[in-house]
Chains A and B, each alone.
Chain A
Amino acid sequence: MALIFVHVLLLLAMPPFLLGVINRTKAWFAGRTGPPLLQPYHDLIRLLRKDMVFSTTTTWVFRAAPVVTLSAVLLAGLIVPFGSFNAPIRFTGDLILFAYLFGLARFFTTTAALDTGSPFEGMGAAREVTFACLSEPALFLGFLVLARISRSISLTPMLLGPLHAPLAGLAIASVALVAAGLFVVLLAENCRIPVDDPNTHLELTMIHEVMVLDHSGPLFGVILYGAAMKLFILSAVVLHVIAPFQTGVAAFDWLLFVAEMTGIAVAIGVVESVMARLQLRHVPTLLVAASLLCGFGFLLMLR
């Protein structure tokens, strides 16, 4: 019971903190002081107090999308195990639900973008969907490897597999390859450099930001919060493959989890600071490479 409580608490409270860590890391690299760590929370509260403006071309889809997105992501967060603890909800095959919840979220976001009738949003929607197409195989192949190692298709046993069972020689190589591939997927799904620049203000170069250009006020806050939660959940998934450690004591394990998540946020910040954004036409190559990395991992498992 307490487990579920802590899980939900972290899921609700931590995501904006990750954003703050990323921004702080990037500022540190650039030699600036940067915004305070809790700035994203202040931003969300500020947005909640604002008014909303709706374009006359939009329909109920535009209003529903942020809410559906947040609910889907929240539900997905309840299926994913954090740290070395089980997820609150688990059943056989829940990894497929996981993938499709994200798909649902993405579907509503892109449809809302198309709903506005603006060409910029349509362009962003097209790009988002294309890149999602290319990163799905990576995600699934990575999950396939984990499923084969743990011999189960439920997220909790799969992701906790590397933690509980010591891995043999080739399995370590497979998991390492999957880790690299999933990290690229993490960057792609959350629109981080090198796939997308979250700080760009040129619509022609945006992917995610341009889709949410027309949202305002509390609904925009909901969208930002949902995006942060998505980052949090995917980071938790990647964490299992990169650093499957546990201390055995519940409290310390939660602290370890928080620390590792901060570590991943720092890593994302570092990647954003040292790399430049790829040319749009080279992004498919990167995503296909990520899929192939996971594919290689899978091939190695087949022997």
Chain B
Amino acid sequence: MYVALILVPLLAAAVAAAVPSNRLRPWLLPAVAVTHLALTIVSLSRPAGPFVNRWLALDPPGRLVLLLISTLFLICSVYSVGYLRLRAELSNRIFCVALLLFLTMATFIAMSRHLGLLWVAMEATTLATAPLIYFNRTPRSIEATWKYLLVGSVGIALALLGSFFLAYAAVQQGMEPSLQLDQLLRDAPHLSKPWLHAAFILLLVGYGTKMGLAPMHTWKPDAYGEAPGVVGALLAGGVTTCAFLALVRVDHICRSAGDSAYCGRLLVFLGLLSMAFAAAFVVGQRDFKRMLAYSSVEHMGILSLGLGLGGAAVFGSLLHMINNAMTKGVLFLSAGNIHRAYDAKTTDEVRGAMRRLPLSGTLFLLGFLAITGSPPFGPFISEFAILNGAFDGRRFLVGAAFLSLLLIIFIGMGRTVLTVVQGRPSAAARRTLYRDGLLTGLPILASFAIVLLFGLYIPSPLRAMLHDATQYLEVRP
């Protein structure tokens, strides 16, 4: 069953490379997505079965991530069909192959219980997503791809060094080294402390680079700004989630070693720093896709903050992981539509999106409200949970900083978004023939429905999975 989850997208990638028709190829994507989601639901409904070699298994956090990636991919794949139809002049072979390879690798990451395997899969996602950013073949997009590859590769290299440090922490104590998760969790209290700390820092910086935590986030505005909307949604929702899962695993090991205070401090610090960077750059941002990139930096900061605070805030973090991915789906896909309609992405040229594109414009506005934490949407619940966790742990200063940064970002983003959606399209602005269609509109609606649902009521199976994951990550001192 697990093997099927990986093989299906992999074989589909091979098929996509072989299919000659540019028109038919995109339909492979939703087909695979539906199959993958079905397989995922079947796997999740079974109890956690025997592990393959103890290297691949679905533990509670992995289940969450797998379900999330699968759903997000389904939404994006349906959108891609519509998108690729609009860009019929470009060959979409590399696009489709890269998307399917990304799904394969993301599944690997969700199921991996060996840090080495996790690392290889993460590296593979970097390589698989790079061609996607370059899809438009403009000079700016190649600049963005270059930065993404270079910074991402450096991050991955540092994560490898961190993994080596972790293995050496066992060798130094005379134990048998292993990068297998269960073994590491068992051995954690006996590992050499200096090496463990150094490993944690390197892994945090390395996987943080892939997540887009400040100050390693410099590739994000360029990559998200120049990539097509659907690619942005997958990067912001999928790749960052995978990197966050890696960070969760590393933090789990560190906490099992008894170093919760050390890890927690670093995570909280980087979290607040990311939010601060996002706040600084989002105010006065004229390009709304870059604004979304900074919003992603902010939310990675929130995830890191929740993880660092520990306790009840971890529940908030995991829930936020899901909410963030879905909302970013709404935002990036609708932003992509707006970009397509106006052939521009700055506030000078884009006005009155709600009149020009009723569906995308309205959803863009509602998505903005959701991502900045307004009720009745999902992110409000998760951010509230994290705030609760902060105050429960008597971290009042952290909670206050969290709230004020959220406010600044709300104001900053609000200016840009409201300028884009309100008003009337200026007569001199460019108009393309684009209109919201079924394939480019329905996925956004579906994503939005999920965000709204989670704001009102979290279905009990999901709630159970979240609780399981939180329990799993909790470490009794």
Q: Do chains A and B touch in the complex (CB under 8 A)?
A: no
B residues at A contact (CB < 8 Å): none
A residues at B contact (CB < 8 Å): none
